[in-house]
Amino acid sequence: MTVADPGGRTGRAALRVPLAASRICWYLLCAVLAVSMLLPLVWTLTIALKSNADVNRLPPQFLPSQFHWSNFLTGPRMIDFYRLLLNTVIITVIVTVGSVVSSMLVGYGLSRIRFRGQKLWFYLFTASIFVPAMVGLIPMQHFWINLGLIDTWFPLVVPAFLANPVLVFLARQYFMSIPFSLDEAARLDGAGHLRILWSIMVPLTRPVWITMAILSFQLAWNDYLNPLVYLQSPSKFTLSLGMAAFVSDSAGGSSSQYNLLMATNLLYMLPPLLLFFFAQRYFMEGIGAVGVSSK
Amino acid sequence: MNVRRVGALLAVIASVAAATACGSGGGSSSSANTVTWMSWETDQTNQAMDKSFQAFTKSSGIKIQREAAPAADYSQKLASLIMAKKVPEFFWCSNAEEQTLASQGLLYDWSSYAKTNSGLDMSRFAPGSLDSWRRAGKLYGIPTLANAYGFFYNKKLLDAAGVPTPQIGWTYDEMFSDAAKLTGKNGAKQGIVTAWPLLTSPFGLAQYSVSAGGQPLAGTATNVKKVTADPKLVEAAQRYATAIKAGQITPADFDSTNSPSAFANGSIPLMFGGQWLAQTMVGQKIAFDWGFVPMPRVDKDVQPTETNGVCSPATLKNPDQVWKAVSYLDTTGFDDTMKTVPLAPIAYLPGSQGYFAALQGEGTGPASIATAVQAELNAPTKVQTGFVDTWATKAANIITADWNPVIDGKGDPAAGVDKTIKEINSLAGSSS
């Protein structure tokens, strides 16, 4: 005689995946994702350690036949790495500070100060995100040429102080999630907008401005087109421009030195990688919190 | 931290920016006795050239100063320098760049210096190499490095398939026959693999056509108003379409990125490419016997001509000094440099000895490149390897869209050639 299962528990139990199997699947998925993320980095490292002949071998060999540690010295020496590193750090720090400060100011204005056309300005800023940077390249170049500021760092750093639309969007959205009662209370105590921004908003919005700083740092660090177009003296070059010395368009690319490129590239990518590593908690918080405001 | 401290910090940053950005003058600010130049070469080649120019400075008293430019994205760099009116006094330019810039009145005309024959003897340039640098009778660039095209062969794979080693003067009949015999043998998927698209392009087929007694695509190298397809070119298209369809030659739109490495690793019996690939072969220290032969012929010896060169801005203030520097470059500078980095021969033939000597010393494979390249440069009849007029980029799009499919055996070759020629003529006509 068959005993009926009144609650249908047998059927549900059959559908339930055992805990061990679920965990194995989860770890397998994580392992696949981790490998897919790390493989390009490891591949970069192995190329950096190869001779140029090994780089061109077919089928490609994952490990070098001989380890050329000297590539980590030869590559940087070829492009005067430390000089370019200093230039890049100076430009990136100025751009990061300029972008964050100006975008925070604009974001504050668009979210906390009521004025006619407030939303329209916000939409204009947001829409400008979708205008490709290439569109403005030639007019901007004419602008800087006419000002006589070609081959200086001004074209690279000045635009950063005029607010970045993406960062303005992030800041404005984050500001909108903070109760207006805080502003009103501060105003009753006699605080002006700058005081409210500095004493109330900045501490409360730490995740978003750290996120903005990381984004801005990365953009400035990796910027290649603007230094290529605006800089002419090697003493003012940035690292992104220096890295291009290893890759040649001529002779079908056959004179490119990929091993030296990869060795130098590993050093080039270290600062943004470290920055992200140490600030990733704030970065996640900042990105996650932007969606809180729906206004 | 208060507002005042933040303000002070920003002020410090701004002053650092101003100080560093205005620290030293840039651009091509040359003094009266200094000539500035710029190249797209790699650091190694540039340094070899700097060394050679030091000897020139000692003998002439003219200081030569190189302006930095990344080896990649050179065209973008050049465009921005031209716009800023900071272009160096002579700079590397492709033939197409020269024609485009000359059409805009941006380049210096060297005709009067060329006529004097001082510094450079114009009759010593490789036949045909100067033609494409002229525009309306004026000479806007001086050819420097030349490219030569031909076939790299793997003797071991040829022997295994019973195919004789190609020699200078080999024929198209032999080439197509070899491709058929080598296909599918000893692990080779195709008999001929391309490492450069010239072979199956209209210009590659024009070399066949002229060699067979037909006409070139156009009567002149520059200012082309009309192109024609000789019946011999259509014949070549039919032969290529058949061979490509049979899998004996790689298609016209083949991605050739890995071809040099595959050849160096011994899996390609015959590879079409340029002489510069010798660098890859030498670097790989190939274990098997290999060599290089020029383009085959039908009847006459006809070879492609392709050169890069140097140009100067129309606003040049010290042409005498620049002419001396450019003359030194073609006669001695490249000769010295190519001894160290044997990339390409020099269109100015007496300046190529260093290149040939360097290759001769690298073994039989590179030595065969020296022999083949010498034969190509001296070939009396030449065909161009591409359009250089201002509409050249658009013509390349037409070739990709209309020409490549029919050469790959998709459609009637005669009709495809006809359509391509008509569209290019329409383009050339509307651009004139």
Can you tell me the mean pLDDT for B41-69?
A: 91
Helix axes A258-289, A206-222, angle to 10 degrees: 160
Q: Of A78, A141, A198, which is closest to B83 when you measure between CB atoms?
A: A141
What local confidence, expressed as pLDDT, does residue A17 receive? 73
Can you tell me the mean pLDDT for B250-274?
A: 92
Q: Of A56, A241, A242, which is closest to B264 when you measure between CB atoms?
A: A56
What local confidence, expressed as pLDDT, does residue A10 receive? 53
Q: Is B224 exposed, middle or buried (0-12, 13-18, 19+ CB in 10 A)?
A: buried
Least reliable range by pLDDT among A7-16, A22-31, B248-257: A7-16
What local confidence, expressed as pLDDT, does residue B75 receive? 87
Chain B residues closer than 8 Å to A248 by CB? 40-42, 71-72
Can you tell me the mean pLDDT for B268-287?
A: 88
What local confidence, expressed as pLDDT, does residue A111 receive? 93
Kindly indicate the confidence band of residue A282, based on its pLDDT and cuts at 50, 70 and 90.
confident
What local confidence, expressed as pLDDT, does residue A233 receive? 86
pLDDT at position B65 over 80: yes
Chain B residues closer than 8 Å to A101 by CB? 10
What local confidence, expressed as pLDDT, does residue A292 receive? 54
B70 with A244: Cβ contact below 8 A: yes
Nearest residue of A to residue B83 by CA position? A142
User: Are A255 and B279 in contact, with CB atoms under 8 Å apart?
Assistant: yes
User: Are B149 and B295 in contact, with CB atoms under 8 Å apart?
Assistant: yes
Q: Is A104 on the interface with B (CB under 8 A)?
A: no
Kindly indicate the confidence band of residue B31, based on its pLDDT and cuts at 50, 70 and 90.
low
pLDDT tens profile B100-114: 999 999 999 999 999
Q: For the whole model, what pTM was predicted?
A: 0.80
User: Are B263 and B155 in contact, with CB atoms under 8 Å apart?
Assistant: no
pLDDT tens profile B306-349: 999 999 999 999 999 999 999 999 999 999 999 988 889 999 99
Q: Percentage of residues in chain A with pLDDT exceeding 70?
A: 89
Cα of B262 to nearest chain A Cα, Å? 6
pLDDT tens profile B207-217: 999 999 999 99
Q: Is A56 on the interface with B (CB under 8 A)?
A: yes
Mutate to test the interface with A, among B43, B286, B310, B355 (most CBs of A within 10 A): B43
Can you tell me the mean pLDDT for B55-78?
A: 89
What local confidence, expressed as pLDDT, does residue B1 receive? 43
Q: Is B340 on the interface with A (CB under 8 A)?
A: no
Q: Is B402 on the interface with A (CB under 8 A)?
A: no
Q: Is A198 on the interface with B (CB under 8 A)?
A: yes
pLDDT tens profile A140-183: 988 998 899 989 999 999 999 999 999 999 999 999 989 999 99
d(CA A223, CA A221): 6
- Alpha-carbon distance values, A210 to A112, A167, B98, B113, B269 (Å): 20, 11, 49, 62, 58
Token pair belonging to A185 = 């209370």
Least reliable range by pLDDT among A26-40, A180-194, B21-35, B134-148: B21-35
Nearest residue of A to residue B261 by CA position? A56
d(CA A241, CA A232): 11
Q: Of A53, A232, A248, which is closest to B67 when you measure between CB atoms?
A: A232
pLDDT tens profile A212-235: 999 999 999 999 999 999 998 889
Q: Percentage of residues in chain A with pLDDT exceeding 90?
A: 59
ipTM: 0.70
d(CA A22, CA A19): 5
pLDDT at position B234 over 80: yes
Least reliable range by pLDDT among B26-30, B57-61, B230-234: B26-30
Give the residue with greater pLDDT, B381 vs A7: B381
Q: Is A249 on the interface with B (CB under 8 A)?
A: yes
Cα of A168 to nearest chain B Cα, Å? 20
Least reliable range by pLDDT among B33-37, B67-71, B143-147, B344-348: B67-71
User: Are A171 and A108 in contact, with CB atoms under 8 Å apart?
Assistant: yes
Token pair belonging to B8 = 């002070």
Q: Of A195, A229, A255, which is closest to B42 when you measure between CB atoms?
A: A255
Interface of A with B in 25-44 (CB under 8 A): none
What local confidence, expressed as pLDDT, does residue A5 receive? 52
What local confidence, expressed as pLDDT, does residue A1 receive? 40
Least reliable range by pLDDT among A9-23, B85-99, B357-371: A9-23
Chain A residues closer than 8 Å to B16 by CB? 90, 94
Chain A residues closer than 8 Å to B283 by CB? 52-53, 56
d(CA B243, CA B407): 9
pLDDT tens profile B282-294: 877 888 999 999 9
Taking only Cα atoms into account, the Rg of chain B, rounded to an integer number of angstroms, comes to: 24
Interface of B with A in 246-285 (CB under 8 A): 258, 260-262, 264-265, 267, 273-274, 276-277, 279-280, 283-285
User: Are B248 and B179 in contact, with CB atoms under 8 Å apart?
Assistant: yes
Q: Look at residues B332, B338, B345, B431 and name the one whose alpha carbon lies nearest to residue B388.
A: B431
B405 preceded by a cis bond (ω within 30 of 0): no
Q: Of A58, A157, A194, which is closest to B17 when you measure between CB atoms?
A: A157
pLDDT tens profile B218-230: 988 888 889 999 9
Least reliable range by pLDDT among B15-24, B155-164, B176-185: B15-24
What local confidence, expressed as pLDDT, does residue B22 receive? 42
Least reliable range by pLDDT among A160-174, B73-87, B185-199: B73-87
Q: Is A206 on the interface with B (CB under 8 A)?
A: no
pLDDT at position A6 over 70: no
Q: Is A174 on the interface with B (CB under 8 A)?
A: no
Q: Is B72 on the interface with A (CB under 8 A)?
A: yes
pLDDT at position B302 over 50: yes
- Alpha-carbon distance values, B179 to A23, A72, B183 (Å): 56, 44, 6
Average pLDDT of chain B to the nearest whole number? 89
User: Are A97 and A167 in contact, with CB atoms under 8 Å apart?
Assistant: no
What local confidence, expressed as pLDDT, does residue A57 receive? 77
Q: Of B40, B42, B284, which is closest to A56 when you measure between CB atoms?
A: B284
